[in-house]
């Protein structure tokens, strides 16, 4: 079985050149891949459009119609989020690519996968497109799989909290959402106390990090919180919301992760469940996004990549770990 990579130049249609989330991001990533020996280790697949009926199971009709209408000529939904002409189809293609890879992995046709898609998705809630995101790609795939009795872990390492993903599954226990993110930072959600509601109590794990925290802080969170909870949950599949804006050089960031650490996170998640699919979220430094991507792709194909990249993080996550254990211990063995 191979690592599948879903990509299409159709995603380039979602583009506003003066916006940080533009087509140059995936162009740089593809250039890095083609120059890398990893290019021969992946199976490229053409994305399939997400069935419209699945959109309506996760997103409201009003939200979907708003994107449809904006797609006729192209317009802005809010100050951050644009809809290009024809984007209703482009956004469904992005969401469909993630589900397609997840189904390939679950079905045994691929070992794992990476969805190099745009627009991103983790800020899109059930009712609102926002934060550069139109529909929630990862959430749509997780929902579709959960309908078939699959347990899905959604792990989000974007520097911004995935408020949309959290809200979609906040009252559910078939999908576990985990996130580390900079706080305070956009969108202002993701406190330790946000752990779910009703049947979903304990199935949201938020680890807000202070400005400048880096690899060591996140490594401690993996050791003490993320991996113990993930092992107890026993996911059938892990979906990674791969946001590279948590890299130390990102202009929209504030954390200090190194390029190699992105691969380390994938490796450690694979120890819990090797069936894993990454989907592109943020990351806006065009000099580094390609290497962060290759760091994770290298782990997926079993050929770890090494990059010269150093960053010294500031601050300790010890107090955060203690707080997390207090809040989550009624639900997990920590």
**Which residues are tagged catalytic?**
123
Closest CA to 83 of 25, 140, 114, 124: 124
Distance CA 243, CA 17 (A): 20
- Mapped onto helix, strand or coil, the DSSP state of residue 92 is helix
Measured in residues, the chain has a length of 334
Buried b (16+ CB within 10 A) or exposed e, 131-163: bbbbbbbbbbbbbbbbeeebbbbbbbbbbbbbb
CB 88 within 8 A of CB 14: no
- Mapped onto helix, strand or coil, the DSSP state of residue 276 is strand
Q: Which residue has the tokens 């997390």?
A: 324
What does residue 83 show for φ and ψ, rounded to 5 degrees? -125, 115
Distance CA 180, CA 105 (A): 25
HSE-up (13 A, CA, CB side) for residue 208: 16
Closest CA to 78 of 19, 137, 156: 19
Distance CA 253, CA 247 (A): 7
| Six-digit token string for 210 | 């202070």
Q: Which residue has the tokens 């996550």?
A: 317
| Six-digit token string for 63 | 């939200």
């Amino acid at each position: 079985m191979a690592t599948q990579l879903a990509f299409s130049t159709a995603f380039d249609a979602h583009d506003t050149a003066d916006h940080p989330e533009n087509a140059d991001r995936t162009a740089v990533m593809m250039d890095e891949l083609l120059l890398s020996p990893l290019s021969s280790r992946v199976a490229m697949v053409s994305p399939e459009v997400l069935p419209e009926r699945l959109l309506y199971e996760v997103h409201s009709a009003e939200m979907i119609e708003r994107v449809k209408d904006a797609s006729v000529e192209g317009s802005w939904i809010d100050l951050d989020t644009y809809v290009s002409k024809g984007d209703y189809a482009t956004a469904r293609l992005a969401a469909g690519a993630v589900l397609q890879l997840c189904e390939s992995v679950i079905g045994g046709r691929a070992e794992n996968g990476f969805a190099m898609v745009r627009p991103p998705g983790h800020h899109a809630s059930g009712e609102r497109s926002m934060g550069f995101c139109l529909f929630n790609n990862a959430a749509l795939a997780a929902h579709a799989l959960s309908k078939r009795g699959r347990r899905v872990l959604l792990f989000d390492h974007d520097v911004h909290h995935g408020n949309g993903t959290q809200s979609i599954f906040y009252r559910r226990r078939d999908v576990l959402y985990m996130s580390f993110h900079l706080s305070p930072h956009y969108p202002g959600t993701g406190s330790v106390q946000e752990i779910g509601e009703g049947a979903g109590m304990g199935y949201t794990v938020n680890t807000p990090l202070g400005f400048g925290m880096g690899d060591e802080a996140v490594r401690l969170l993996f050791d003490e919180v993320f991996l113990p909870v993930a092992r107890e949950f026993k996911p059938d599949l892990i979906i990674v919301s791969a946001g590279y804006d948590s890299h130390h050089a990102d202009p929209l960031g504030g954390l200090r992760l190194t390029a190699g650490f992105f691969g380390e996170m994938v490796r450690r998640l694979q120890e819990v469940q090797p069936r894993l699919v990454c989907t592109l979220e943020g990351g806006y430094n065009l000099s580094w996004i390609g290497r962060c991507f290759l760091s994770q792709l290298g782990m997926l194909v079993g050929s770890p990549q090494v990059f010269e990249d150093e960053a010294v993080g500031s601050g300790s996550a010890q107090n955060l770990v203690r707080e997390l254990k207090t809040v989550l211990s009624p639900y997990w063995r920590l």
